[in-house]
């Protein structure tokens, strides 16, 4: 009977603290579990921002890789464009037109027209001895003509000085211009016909006598860029019949 009573009272002891040795370990385990869970939560709290940053970094790297993959072919394609498309210092003339018949004279007084240079790529430069930037760029034009002038290419520098051919010849001697021939349009007809906005103005003329590029202002005409443009135009004119 006594044993039966004890068995019946055992559950009551659990609820009233009769078995503290049982209740306490359960609480401790719960505390440990709670502590373990809390520790896991703290760990996750500290790791989560790092995971986010890592994800952002990986995403940025992937986007950068795709951008490089996309832009590199475009840059390569642009670099592979023929030099004829890029006219260096010249502004491209979208609809090239044949130049009007230009009249000018040389040092001996002989009359000339642009048709005298038909079949050549021509660098037509309009200038004057009183124009400082014109004087500055003239030596580079002289070097370009000395190096590339011939059956396929000609640098044609036409002065617009009103004082006559003698001032041009004097300047050539002073500046050491030895390759260019002295030409002059003393009446200003060339400037008027071409509607030149200012001096110096330089036109790139193809073999057909059509201006394909224009440069207003001075330039380094003996540069590698200009050389490449001229060579490309010579090759395009020969190969393509342009």
Distance CA 159, CA 169 (A): 10
Which of 239, 47, 68, 231 has the alpha carbon at shortest distance from 150? 231
**pLDDT confidence of residue 48:** 59
Rg (CA), the chain: 43
**pLDDT confidence of residue 86:** 80
pTM for the predicted model, two decimal places: 0.65
Low-confidence ranges of the chain (pLDDT < 70): 1-55, 57-85, 237-242
The torsion region of residue 99 among left (phi > 0), alpha (psi -120 to 50) and beta comes to beta
């Amino acid at each position: 009977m006594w044993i039966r009573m004890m068995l019946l009272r055992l559950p009551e002891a659990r609820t009233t603290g009769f078995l503290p040795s049982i209740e306490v370990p359960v609480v401790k385990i719960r505390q440990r579990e709670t502590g373990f869970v809390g520790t896991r939560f703290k760990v996750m709290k500290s790791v989560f921002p790092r995971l986010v940053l890592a994800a952002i970094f990986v995403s940025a790297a992937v986007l950068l890789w795709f951008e490089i993959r996309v832009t590199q072919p475009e840059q390569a394609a642009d670099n592979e464009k023929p030099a004829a498309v890029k006219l260096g210092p010249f502004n491209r003339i979208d609809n090239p037109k044949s130049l009007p018949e230009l009249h000018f004279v040389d040092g001996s007084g002989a009359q000339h027209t642009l048709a005298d240079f038909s079949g050549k790529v021509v660098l037509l430069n309009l200038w004057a001895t009183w124009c400082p930037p014109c004087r500055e760029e003239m030596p580079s034009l002289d070097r370009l003509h000395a190096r590339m002038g011939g059956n396929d290419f000609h640098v044609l520098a036409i002065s617009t000085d009103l004082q006559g051919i003698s001032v041009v010849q004097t300047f050539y001697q002073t500046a050491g211009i030895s390759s260019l021939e002295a030409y002059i349009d003393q009446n200003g007809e060339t400037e008027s016909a071409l509607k030149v906005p200012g001096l110096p103005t330089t036109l790139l003329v193809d073999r057909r006598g059509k201006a394909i590029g224009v440069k207003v202002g001075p330039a380094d005409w003996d540069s590698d860029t200009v050389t490449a443009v001229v060579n490309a135009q010579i090759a395009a004119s020969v190969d393509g019949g342009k």
